Each structure stands twice: as structure tokens, then as C-alpha cells.
Amino acid sequence: MRRFSQRSALVTLSEINITPLLDLAFVLLIIFVITTPLLEQGIQLKLPQGGQPNDKIEKKDVRVVEIDTHGTYFLDRRPISLDQLEANLFRDFQMNPKLVIRVRADKDGKNEQTFAVIDRCRKHNITRIDLQTAPPGRQ
């Protein structure tokens, strides 16, 4: 009798209920699916009204430069000085000649910072510059 009771105890321990693990996996999957698009938004800027939608450009060929209302430069959502920005864009352009610089400047900011980025790009023969605007009817 004793052996039988030990054997049944081992059988019960060897069974693992995976339902709670699957529930946890599905909840995490749903959380990541919902939050991923929110993380790719960038800095909150009010873009000026614009015209045509962008052509199809591969994501690896794009560097996003953002300029807020105070004139602070951001590269990949990190604050950066204009000289550092120029050096980083030139280095990236040397590695990838198909590089496109997408400039997102707040409409309430000064245009001096936007022109400074364009001038620094042209100084290094970076001619593919995309000035991003908001679609018509959206602010």
C-alpha cells in the first residue's frame, strides 16, 4: 500500500498545468502589439500643412532629424548639438549613399534651425532631404 501512495504522489507532481502560462503569453503579446506603434511616434511636434505623401523609402535609409519649438535638435529622439548632428549624418551618408534625411520641424519654431540642417547636409553633398509636413486637414 505504501508504494502505491508514493507512486500516485509522483504522478500528480509530474503533471504541469500550462494554461496559466499560455494566458500570460497571450497577455504579453497583446501588450506588445498595442504599445509598439505608440513607441514609434517620435517627438510631439505640430507640423505645417503639406502636400504630397512621401515616396516609398526603406526604413534603413532614413535618418530623422527633429527640431522642437525651442530650437533643440534631435537625432533618433535623442537631443544633439548641430555639430554632432552634422558629423553623425556625414558618417551615415558615407556608409549609405542612398541616405535620406527626414527633417521634422515644429511649425511654431524658427526656420533658422531647419535651414542650418539643410545647409550642413548640402555642405557634405547630402541632397536627399525630406521636409516632413502634416497631411492636409490634420494638425
What cell was used for 91?
Answer: 558618417
Closest CA to 118 of 103, 106, 97: 103
Where are the chain's structural domains? Answer: 2-39, 59-131
At 51 the pLDDT is: 61
55-64, 98-107, 115-124: which range is least confident on average?
55-64
State the Rg of the chain over Cα.
26
Calculate the alpha carbon distances from 102 to 9, 12, 65, 66, 90 in Å.
65, 61, 6, 8, 14
What cell was used for 97?
Answer: 549613399
Question: Count of CB atoms within 10 A of residue 98's CB?
Answer: 11
Express each pLDDT in 31-66 by its tens digit.
Answer: 888 877 766 666 666 766 666 655 577 778 889 899
**pLDDT top residue among 90 and 134:** 90
Question: What is 59-131's CATH topology?
Answer: Nucleotidyltransferase; domain 5 (3.30.420)
At 88 the pLDDT is: 92
Calculate the alpha carbon distances from 56 to 25, 59, 100, 129 in Å.
35, 9, 12, 14
Cβ pair 68, 43 in contact under 8 A: yes
At 14 the pLDDT is: 64
- Spatial strand order of the sheet with 129-131 comes to 78-80, 73-75, 62-67, 100-105, 129-131
Longest dimension (CA), the chain: 90
At 130 the pLDDT is: 83
8-12, 79-83, 93-97, 132-136: which range is least confident on average?
8-12
Express each pLDDT in 58-93 by its tens digit.
Answer: 778 889 899 888 888 999 888 999 999 999 999 999
User: For residues 65, 70, 71 and 76, what is the CA-based torsion angle, rounded to 10 degrees?
Assistant: -20
Question: Count of CB atoms within 10 A of residue 45's CB?
Answer: 19
